[in-house]
Structure 1
Amino acid sequence: MALQYQVVPVTPFQQNCSIVWCDETMKGVVIDPGGDVKQLLMMIEELKVQVEKLVLTHGHLDHVGGSVELARALNLTIVGPHKDDNFWLQGLEGQSQMFGFPLTEAFEPSQWLDEGDIVTFGEQSLNVIHTPGHTPGHVVLHSESASLAFVGDVLFKGAIGRTDFPKGDFNTLIDSIKSKLWPLGNETRFVPGHGPESTFGSERVSNPFVADEMPLY
């Protein structure tokens, strides 16, 4: 019994949408379906995953733009992010125009996620960690059994999320990373919202924004 996942880059922003499932039951979730819904539907069918819900890490368009269309296509509920990102979801039409995306209507998820909530599918579960800074309502989803985290735009290989958007805050983001993510363990792998995967341990050594275990030469 194990957690499996397939990352599918979507939209011109090459946002990492993740199809995540329990290999015993083949039940799963889709994290951050930002767009390219036809491509996602084909991949879900190819993987033979029975998607139970969509999960959002935060309210930015490139992470949520395909949510309503995919939810309708598969008759799914949308959960997350934390309610502090509601203003982003309510402003999706403006985001669409700003970034030149197809018009995306505002929506509200069936359930907001809070620190300590658990997203379950099959025999697997993801712990919800509230990680503000990039956006105020950003959440990270952590699988203890797989030592794996889906971190959205909080942390990247060699970088961190932008904090120059409305209600973003650099110091809050750094605190979220160091106080919420590092305790999950250096060996924990993470799937960022964009770009390649890494581990928390690697970023603690090499990431110029958050390194705290610099090697001695």
Structure 2
Amino acid sequence: MTEPATPPAPPLKVAIIPVTPLQQNCTLVWCTKTMRGAFIDAGGDLALLRQAIAKTGVTIEKLLVTHGHIDHCGATGAFARELGVPIEGPEEADRFWIARLDEDGRKYGIDGQVFEPTRWLHDGDTVTIGECTLDVVHCPGHTPGHVVFFHAASRFAIVGDVLFQGSIGRTDFPLGNHQQLIDSITQKLWPLGNDVTFVPGHGPVSTFGRERQTNSYVSDYMLA
């Protein structure tokens, strides 16, 4: 009798580690073939992130940033120096936010340190994690330089604070723009496909298809 074949490991694995008092979804993403990975939005609570490295055995090769808000990148500069790895993202229009991380850290009670990314990202760029390639999608509105990371082969995206289960990102911060955010979601994210599962910056995962059906801000029905 032939043993059933073991299904191949997915090319990309993900672990979500909520950090900071704002419970921001820091995401550890790694290539299962090489066990090389990246943290996306290392906002704080570095002890938790070190534990995730030890538990998974992943070698961190870079830190990725969706946007410049304190809960998403306050600790990124310090962590990059500790690990000796580069920082990629966000888009340079968020330089304004990164420049005020020290000030915002005091305001929100989060350790924030200004940093300069090794590489600013642009719409249409790609970033690599091990042997996996993620597409960069510039989605302004919540902040002007917000980017989304999309792994087409896995039908998976990390969207930061652009879109949530049942909600969308705030646009009442400086340089926010509500219509621009709606356009980013409907013109940049929806075309990626209803079957795409996404990790938002806060709260539970969802799919683009579910949000197109049920999200009271951007459902097809509400925008019709």
Q: What TM-score do you get using the length of structure 1 for normalisation? A: 0.96
Structure 1 runs (4+) greater than 2 angstroms displaced: none
Equivalent residue for 1:134? 142
Q: Secondary structure at the match of 1:120?
A: strand
1:144 maps to 2:177 = no
**CA separation in 1, counterparts of 2:107 and 2:178?**
23
**CA separation in 2, counterparts of 1:213 and 1:122?**
40
Alignment of 1:1-217 (within 5 A): 2-102=11-111, 104-212=112-220
Deviation for aligned residue 1:213: 5.0
Matched residue type, 1:117: D
Q: Deviations along 1:101-130, whole A, 9 cap, x unmatched? A: 23x231110110000111112221110000
**CA separation in 2, counterparts of 1:105 and 1:69?**
7
**Is the 1:37–1:69 Cα contact (8 Å) retained in structure 2?**
no
Matched residue type, 1:211: S
Matched residue type, 1:57: T
**CA separation in 1, counterparts of 2:71 and 2:19?**
8
State percent identity of aligned pairs: 53
The structure that has the greater radius of gyration is 2
Structure 1's unaligned 5+ residue stretches are none
Q: Secondary structure at the match of 1:98?
A: helix
**CA separation in 1, counterparts of 2:166 and 2:173?**
20
Deviation for aligned residue 1:176: 0.1
Q: Secondary structure at the match of 2:44?
A: coil
Structure 2's unaligned 5+ residue stretches are 1-9
**Is the 2:142–2:170 Cα contact (8 Å) retained in structure 1?**
yes
Number of matched residues?
Answer: 213
Q: What TM-score do you get using the length of structure 2 for normalisation? A: 0.93
